[in-house]
Structure 1
Amino acid sequence: MNYSDIKKIFFKLNPENAHKIAEFGMKLSVKIPFVSDYLVNNFCFIDTKLSQNIFGINFLNPVGLAGGFDKNATMITPLSAMGFGFLEYGTLTPKPQGGNPKPRLFRLIEEKSLQNAMGFNNDGLDKIKARASKVYPFSIPIIANIGKNKITPNDMAIKDYEILVKGLDSCCDAFVINISSPNTPNLRDLQSESFINELFAALSSLTKKPLILKIAPDMSIDSAISLCSTAANAGFKGLIINNTSVDYSLTPKAKDFGGISGQLIKNKSKELFKEVAKELYGKAVLISCGGIDNGQDAYERIKMGASLVQIYTSFIYEGPSICKNINNQILNLALSEGYENISQAVGANLRR
């Protein structure tokens, strides 16, 4: 049975139930040796020309899984067998929380997109740390995506991030600071220059691991550039552009809550990344996320200045072969333009 057949079955189920079944299947797969071998042999694409050293960390390929898929660090090992170059777990919060009321996850099938209002549902620091500690250090970089609890007021938010960085410093390679989800009330209000400076000052004293800021796609280009410049000047080593969108004009099928991901935000994400990269390339590691579902998309973002790219929604729509396909396409495109390593293509459009 190929993935298109499996997807037909899964897409008849409630999206969250389908995700739980997929999670159960992945956790089961690592207990059956021949299944793990099958996944690696069929879905991993390995070539040293795709490897890069970023943040002093080795990345076998530039394609990662964005936060939100493996919220509770239960699927790190099976996901790595599907060819990802790096993984995020989370978003997690200090205390466990159930997230927003259901239904809160919706498929926009014709647009190959999703809309979610999950609200940082996760098992909390203690349980997730215990799971991550069992596998870390890992064969590929794993990154902790961290956020504040819903009940934590914004003027106390830094304390939540401090708790998470202290707790997870021994079981991740880097941190993604999530202040851009639309699903926690007032969280995006923290996307201010004063908060960014205060946040970095607090967290940099607690960890030597790279801190990466993830921004929303819905701010103006000038605001995004200003915020990212502030983050880079403060000391953030990386920037992810971007999180989900609350631009509900993208489709008449959109709900009036939650964030949209997938093909619907491809152009918005690409244009924002392009403009931010013009100003921030070389000042921080740039990571592009939003609507990427093939090697041409990924390679275009790389030439715009992305050292790494991330997928999420396209993994659900295209299945476990997507990393292999994207990496194969990236490599062929890079070689066709005379590059001996993918790192040489990073920012090529900006160096002309």
Structure 2
Amino acid sequence: MNYDNLKKIFFKMDPENAHDLAITGLRVANLFPSLLSICGKDLVVNNQSLNQNLLGLNFPNPVGLAGGFDKNGVVLKSLQNLGFGHIEYGTVTPKPQDGNEKPRLFRLVKNESIQNSMGFNNLGLKAVKANVSKFYPLNVPLIANIGKNKTTPNDDALSDYITLAKELDGVCDMFLVNVSSPNTPNLRALQEENFIKELFLALKETTKKPVAFKISPDFSYDEATEICTVAVKSGAKMLIINNTSVDYSLSPNIKEHKGGISGKLITHKSRELFKAISSELYGKAVLVSCGGIDSAEEAYTRIKLGANLVQIYTSFIFKGPTIARDINKELSKLLKADGFENIAQAVGVDITVKAKSDS
């Protein structure tokens, strides 16, 4: 059955139930290594032109899966065999939490977008650590996306992040500190200079693993660049630009004014924010572009604007399990057509070309 037919079935279901069913299917696939191997041969693109060594880690291709799909780290092996070049699990919180009241996940089908107000629903640190330990290490870098519990006051948030970093240090290759989700009350208030400095100083003393910082797309360009600059100066080795948006003016199809929007509705917004931040911070940290990427052409645009890596999520839902393969195959063709032997030669080329023309 091709994915278009399967999608018709999934899209008749409640979105969260469909997601749970997809996770169940991938969990079953975990139990059959021979099946995963067959999938891997078809979906994993082994092309040296896409390979990069960043932060001491080998990224076989630039297309990663953003956090939120496998919150509890239960299908990591299956996701690896779908061809992703890196994978995030989480967001993980110290204590288990149910998340926000349902319904909290909506498809905006005409816009190929999703609106979610999940609220860091996960099984909690202990259970997630046990799950991930069954799979770690993978053949691709694994990022632990960590966040504070809803019931933890912002004044005590630092302790949640330190606890998570200590406990998950042995089951990830990197950390991502999540202070930019719109679905935990007051969380985005932590995207300010003093807390960011304090957080990265504490994490530097807690883990030797690289730590990434993810920004909201709803700041002005100057504000976002300033916040990211503070994060980099404080120790962030990677910037992920960006999380979901609460700009409800993006579409008349918005269900309710709650939760974050992802997918094609934020393609332009995400690209332009990335362009603004990259123009200031290119070369000072590993840059990752996320938001509305569903094709090799869009991924390549972000790469030429300075992205070492890209992340997808919503396009995985709308285009299916072959999307990483499809983007990577086409990316290798685009690189070759432009005369690049490796993706690293294309990263930031539009910035460097502009800089030369302006000088």
Which amino acid in 2 is paired with 1:222?
Answer: D
What does residue range 84-99 of structure 1 map to in structure 2 within 5 Å? 84-99=84-99
Q: Deviations over 1:281-328 (max 9, x none)?
A: 011110000000000000100000000000000000000110011001
2:166 corresponds in structure 1 to 166
**Number of the residue aligned with 1:334:** 335
Give CA deviations for 1:221-270 in whole Å, capped at 9, x if unaligned.
00001001111111110000000000000011112000000000000000
Deviation string, structure 1 residues 195-222 (Cα, Å, up to 9, x no partner): 1101011111000100100000000000
Which structure 2 residue ranges, 5 or more long, are not aligned?
Answer: 354-359
Partner of 1:107: 107
Please report how far the alpha carbon of residue 168 of structure 1 lies from its aligned counterpart in structure 2 after TM superposition. Answer: 0.4
Cα deviations by residue, 1:109-143 (Å, 9 ceiling, x for unpaired): 00000000000000000000011112212211110
- Give the match for residue 357 of structure 2: none
Distance in 2 of aligned mates of 1:100 and 1:235 = 32
Partner SS, residue 305 of structure 1? coil
The residue number in structure 2 matching 1:258 is: 259
Secondary structure in 2 matching 1:214: strand
Alpha-carbon distance between aligned partners in 1 of 2:126 and 2:27, rounded to the nearest angstrom: 20
Amino acid at match of 2:243: N
Note if contact 2:80-2:138 (Cα within 8 Å) is conserved in structure 1.
no
Task: Name the amino acid aligned to 2:209.
Answer: K
Q: Which stretch shows the higher mean deviation, 259-268 or 128-137?
A: 128-137
Quote the residue 2:356 is aligned against.
none
Q: Which amino acid aligns with 1:66?
A: A
Q: Which residue of 2 aligns with 1:272?
A: 273
Report the Cα distance in structure 2 between the residues aligned to 1:195 and 1:97, rounded to whole angstroms: 24
Distance of 1:135 and 1:41 partners within structure 2:
19
Q: Distance in 2 between matches of 1:100 and 1:73?
A: 20
Deviation digits for residues 23-76 of structure 1 (CA, Å, limit 9, x no counterpart): 111111122244213311222211011100001000100000000000000110
Q: Distance in 1 between matches of 2:145 and 2:294?
A: 22
Query: Aligned residues: percent identity?
Result: 57
| Partner Cα separation in structure 1 for residue 119 and residue 31 of structure 2 | 31
- The answer for the alignment partner of 1:324 in structure 2 is 325
SS at 1:282 equivalent: coil
Q: Which amino acid aligns with 1:277?
A: S
- List aligned pairs for 1:69-84, cutoff 5 A: 69-84=69-84
CA distance in 2, matches of 1:14, 1:309: 28
Q: Equivalents in 2 of 1:331, 1:33: separation in Å?
A: 28
Aligned equivalents of 2:296, 2:251: Cα separation in 1: 25
Equivalent pair of 2:52/2:343 in contact (CA under 8 Å):
yes
C-alpha separation in 1, matches of 2:95 and 2:30: 28
Provide the TM-score with structure 2 as the length reference: 0.97
Task: Tell me, in whole angstroms, the C-alpha distance in 1 between the residues paired with 2:156 and 2:37.
Answer: 46
Contact 2:196 2:231 in 1 (8 A): yes
Q: Distance in 1 between matches of 2:140 and 2:32?
A: 21
Matched, 1:61 2:61: yes
Q: Which moved more, 1:20-29 or 1:130-139?
A: 130-139
> Amino acid of the residue matched to residue 82 of structure 2?
M
8 Å contact from structure 2 (residues 30, 75) kept in 1: no
How many residue pairs end up in the alignment? 352
TM-score of the superposition, structure 1-length normalised? 0.99
